[in-house]
């Protein structure tokens, strides 16, 4: 059997990849990597060129094999694919821990650093230093029994985190609400009703079936006039995969969360740390836990009073007390009254094709790149597209896929993932390639896909990550793009790009009426720009609540019971929330960022990077939103550097000083 995952060049043949290919390919490549490493360690002499470069190449090959498997599991999940993915995860975790605990390998890196210290480039030195840090964080110096336990913990965490994400997806897809009275859908956008009607027909039902995909949920709680309907969707959303959904007890994540926290704490203690937060911070810009807590506390001092004042004003506007499922509905009405802006009303001005063309034009003006769709590339779904990216001299830089609409068996949210990292070593070369994935409302045939402005901001955000991956000039895969970048700096390029979705000079580039082709009218443009700071306090404290909950869960002993977990969450909410959720709220049970993703004890990174991004964008607004010298400096000092430089030093090289929080407060209209 020819295995498409083992192709050593070009793009994956997504039409040919089957679940049966996955474990076979991963096992084969891991065995190859082990064979090469054995030969490298057996060689009589070792140098950066003869040892580390071949090792980097082998690791790049393994990542290239697994990345398509992980991607497919996220966008076209199925039981066979899920099983194959989990088997591969187990193999990879075992292999990566085995590498990171290999004392011979660690000694080889340390010896090369010592022997070649005077001749190593900055990038070469960073490759070694980064690896040595990873050896330390994997317990390379632990006694054998503790090493073995650490390895077991990593395997257990891999399985637990995969289960957490599967439970969220399964619980989301298991819920639906059959509506037979059209009056209950009053206010719900027509395109959502049309999709609900289609789903009902597919299930041989009359009326409408609402599902729990994110576009449907947001549409109902924002526009649905039926308070009962809003509460049904809200309750289903915030109790996904929890003890509050007795109809699907098999998806309850309570015990999974407790086990994840316990295993992370045990791993931290094995490594000599007090708690897992310290393990997390070993690879971040923030120096220690106290600095993170001070940062969050300082932001809270600005945002909490603003958020509580905003909520009080919203209740005054609504002429009565509001429950959590009322907030988005009345906020939208208040926004329309004060700024004459409605996300749904703006959809006709944001056809997906127009937004993409405008986004690519903005990237061209800033960084001199050209983005061109390439046809005939094998895809996993009809929604997917592939784009090539060229430099100003027409040389190929890399490429990226898009998959932008919500559907069944696709993970919710939006993300950029690394498919192929940049490689330029040992006579081998690979262009960087990424996946850019969102979950926008699918068009109702034969309609054009229309975005809300919120969707536009999301697309710009993920494209910022994509640029970070593509515009790297680092030749070593372990440090290229976002690899090796401090996690609390990874969001800088993405959050910086959001600003171009909010600027008077750029909005005409990304908006044109789907029927008339006219740009966003001046009055609507002015209203949209004026709405940017609307409820900025409420939006910020929601992020601060998540960040504090995440950090405090990981900066102490793990809770033993679900009640203890919920009590800690309630303490955080009391401290920073403006809106008191109902007792059944279990938002943590679907918090994939920290229990299945890479943000454990790092969710604060979003606010941390917002400070960096707002301050960075201030440099653009001072010089001109399309100022090429500023853009070139950002590309040179930040986007191209990957993990080679310290991220604070990179920011200072771009901005000329350390970041200041005042720029973010000004941007969001919060009094300093």
**Structure tokens, 309:** 């004042």
> β-strands 396-405, 433-440: how paired?
parallel
**Distance from C-alpha of 420 to C-alpha of 437, rounded to nearest angstrom:** 16
Indicate which residues carry an active-site annotation.
462
**Distance from C-alpha of 164 to C-alpha of 589, rounded to nearest angstrom:** 8
> β-strands 415-420, 396-405: how paired?
unpaired
The 10 Å Cβ neighbour count of residue 379 is: 14
> β-strands 385-390, 428-430: how paired?
unpaired
Among residues 631, 635, 543, 559, the alpha carbon closest in space to that of 593 is found at: 543
Is the distance from CB of 139 to CB of 150 less than 8 angstroms?
yes
Is the distance from CB of 109 to CB of 131 less than 8 angstroms?
yes
> For the residues of 181-242, what is the DSSP string, one character each?
-GGGGTTS-HHHHHHHHHHHHHTT-SSEEEE--HHHHHHHHHH---HHHHHHHHHHHHTTTS
Is the distance from CB of 448 to CB of 517 less than 8 angstroms?
no
How deeply is 228 buried, as exposed, middle or buried, from its count of CB atoms within 10 A (0-12, 13-18, 19+)? exposed
DSSP 382: T
Distances (CA, A) of 603 to 205, 538, 647, 660: 42, 17, 17, 20
305: left (phi over 0), alpha (psi -120 to 50) or beta: alpha
**Distance from C-alpha of 665 to C-alpha of 400, rounded to nearest angstrom:** 34
CA within 13 Å, CB half, 583: 1
**Structure tokens, 637:** 């000092």
Sole residue written with tokens 């192929």: 420
Distances (CA, A) of 200 to 35, 412, 452: 55, 21, 25
Is the distance from CB of 406 to CB of 372 less than 8 angstroms?
no
Collect all residues with Cβ–Cβ distance below 8 Å to 130 and sequence separation of at least 6: 478, 479, 484, 643
Angle at 444 between CA 524 and CA 499, to 5 degrees: 35
């Amino acid at each position: 059997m020819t295995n498409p995952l083992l192709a050593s060049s070009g793009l994956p043949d997504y039409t040919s990849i089957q679940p049966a290919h996955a474990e076979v390919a991963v096992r084969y490549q891991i065995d190859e990597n082990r064979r090469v490493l054995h030969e490298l360690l057996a060689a009589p002499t070792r140098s950066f060129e003869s040892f580390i470069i071949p090792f980097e190449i082998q690791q790049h090959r393994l990542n290239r094999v697994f990345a398509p498997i992980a991607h497919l599991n996220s966008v076209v999940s199925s039981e066979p694919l899920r099983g194959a993915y989990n088997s591969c995860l187990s193999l990879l975790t075992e292999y990566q821990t085995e590498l990171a605990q290999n004392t011979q390998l660690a000694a080889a890196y340390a010896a090369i650093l010592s022997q070649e210290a005077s001749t190593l480039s900055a990038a070469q030195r960073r490759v070694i230093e980064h690896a040595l840090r990873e050896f330390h964080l994997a317990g390379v110096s632990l006694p054998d029994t503790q090493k073995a336990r650490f390895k077991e913990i990593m395997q257990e965490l891999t399985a637990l985190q995969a289960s957490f994400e599967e439970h969220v997806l399964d619980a989301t897809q298991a819920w639906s609400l059959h509506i037979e009275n059209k009056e209950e859908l009053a206010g719900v956008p027509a395109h959502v009703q049309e999709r609900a009607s289609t789903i009902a027909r597919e299930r041989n039902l009359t009326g409408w079936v609402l599902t729990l995909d994110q576009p449907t949920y947001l549409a109902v709680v924002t526009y649905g006039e039926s308070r009962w309907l809003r509460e049904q969707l809200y309750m289903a959303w915030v109790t996904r995969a929890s003890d509050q959904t007795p109809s699907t007890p098999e998806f309850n994540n309570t015990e999974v969360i407790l086990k994840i926290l316990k295993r992370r704490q045990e791993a931290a203690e094995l490594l000599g740390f007090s708690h897992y937060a310290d393990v997390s911070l070993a690879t971040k810009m923030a120096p220690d836990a106290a600095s993170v807590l001070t940062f969050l506390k300082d932001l809270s001092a600005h945002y909490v009073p603003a958020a509580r004042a905003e909520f009080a004003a919203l209740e005054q506007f609504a002429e009565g007390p509001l429950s959590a499922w009322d907030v988005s509905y009345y906020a939208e009405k208040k926004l329309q009254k004060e700024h004459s802006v409605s996300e749904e009303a703006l959809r006709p001005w944001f056809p997906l094709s127009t937004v993409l063309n405008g986004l690519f034009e903005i990237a061209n003006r800033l960084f001199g790149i050209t983005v061109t769709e390439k046809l005939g590339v094998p895809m996993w779904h009809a929604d997917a597209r592939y784009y090539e990216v060229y430099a100003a001299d027409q040389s190929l830089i890399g490429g990226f896929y898009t998959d932008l609409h919500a559907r069944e068996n696709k993970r919710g949210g939006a993300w950029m993932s690394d498919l192929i990292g940049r490689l330029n070593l040992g006579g081998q070369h690979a262009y960087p390639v990424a996946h850019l994935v969102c979950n926008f409302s699918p068009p109702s045939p034969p309609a054009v896909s229309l975005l809300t402005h919120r969707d536009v901001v999301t697309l710009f955000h993920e494209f910022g990550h994509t640029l970070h991956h593509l515009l790297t000039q680092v030749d070593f895969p372990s440090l290229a793009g976002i690899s090796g970048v401090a996690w609390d700096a990874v969001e800088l390029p993405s959050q910086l790009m959001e600003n171009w979705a909010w600027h008077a000079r750029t909005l005409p580039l990304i908006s044109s009426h789907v029927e008339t082709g006219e740009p966003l009218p001046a009055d609507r443009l002015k209203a949209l720009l004026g709405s940017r700071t609307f409820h900025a306090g409420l939006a910020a404290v929601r992020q601060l609540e998540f960040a504090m909950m995440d950090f405090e869960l990981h900066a102490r002993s793990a809770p033993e019971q679900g009640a203890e977990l919920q009590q800690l969450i309630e303490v955080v909410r009391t401290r920073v929330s403006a809106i008191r959720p109902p007792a059944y709220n279990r938002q943590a049970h679907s918090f994939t960022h920290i229990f299945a993703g890479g943000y454990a004890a790092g969710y604060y990174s979003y606010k941390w990077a917002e400070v960096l991004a707002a301050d960075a964008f201030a440099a653009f607004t001072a010089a001109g939103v399309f100022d090429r010298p500023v853009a070139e400096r950002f590309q040179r000092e930040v986007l191209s550097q990957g993990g080679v430089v310290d991220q604070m030093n990179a920011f200072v090289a771009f901005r000329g000083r350390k970041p200041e929080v005042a720029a973010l407060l000004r941007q969001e209209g919060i009094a300093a």
